[in-house]
A = this chain, B = another copy of it.
Amino acid sequence: MFEHAPTVEHLIKLLRRLPGIGTKSGQRLVSFLLKADPRYIEDLAKSLIELREKVFYCSTCFNITDSDPCSICRSEKRDRSVLCVLENPYDIIPIEKSNSYNGLYHILHGHLSPIEGITPADLKIKELLGRLKNGEIEEVILATNPTVDGESTAHYLVNILKPLGVKLTRIAMGIPVGGDLEYADENTMAKALGGRREI
């Protein structure tokens, strides 16, 4: 069969292993890279190696970090009595941006999903229980996504954390600020009504 150049075929094969990249988008990436500034490609290749060498997960909270414990876990300015449980490392960004949380984090690295075959053993739940042992943490905020899988993960955590006597809270769900009621789906609307507060 015809091949453009072994290097090209090999790179496309590697790119196809990335999530969301197929043959077509792999070819598009190669076309882009062939026309790109050589310095950009060198920078990209160097960054990939640097990621492999320098970046890992915090052994305490499992956030992405280049130091262990991570900057949040070792900060003396953070409130060590509150722990916010998240599905993914990137969920930290909107929380930090909101300037309304100063506690610690714990990253589960996913959500429970019977369909995808993800069980509690696949998430950092054992490690979460370990962190609650010394009694320093008084409140656990369950901030998994308000999706079916995120909700069932939160429910599972409620069941296993309740016996420990720690305060458990769930982030509020409702109409997003700046959102339009007209376009709210029925589930969000139900949450917004059910969670209404007296003013």
Q: Does A148 sit at the interface, judged by CB under 8 A? A: no
Give the contacts of A1-25 with B (CB-CB under 8 A). Answer: 1-2, 4-8, 10-11, 14-15, 17-20, 25
Q: Is A166 on the interface with B (CB-CB < 8 A)?
A: no
Expressed in whole angstroms, the minimum distance between the Cβ of A65 and any Cβ of chain B is 6
- Report yes or no: B55 in contact with A49, Cβ–Cβ below 8 A: no
Give the residues in chain B near A30, CB-CB below 8 Å.
Answer: 51, 64
How many residues belonging to A are interface residues under a CB distance threshold of 8 Å? 53
Contact indicator A89/B31 (Cβ below 8 Å): yes
A38 at the interface (CB under 8 A from B): yes
A101-160 interface (Cβ within 8 A of B): none
Q: Does A79 contact B (CB under 8 A)?
A: no
Task: With A2-B96, A96-B2 as known contacts, state yes or no: A14 contacts B47, CB within 8 Å.
Answer: yes
Q: Which of B15, B42, B52 sits near A38, CB closer than 8 Å?
A: B52
Are the C-beta atoms of B42 and A7 separated by less than 8 Å? no
A5-B55 in contact (CB<8A)? yes
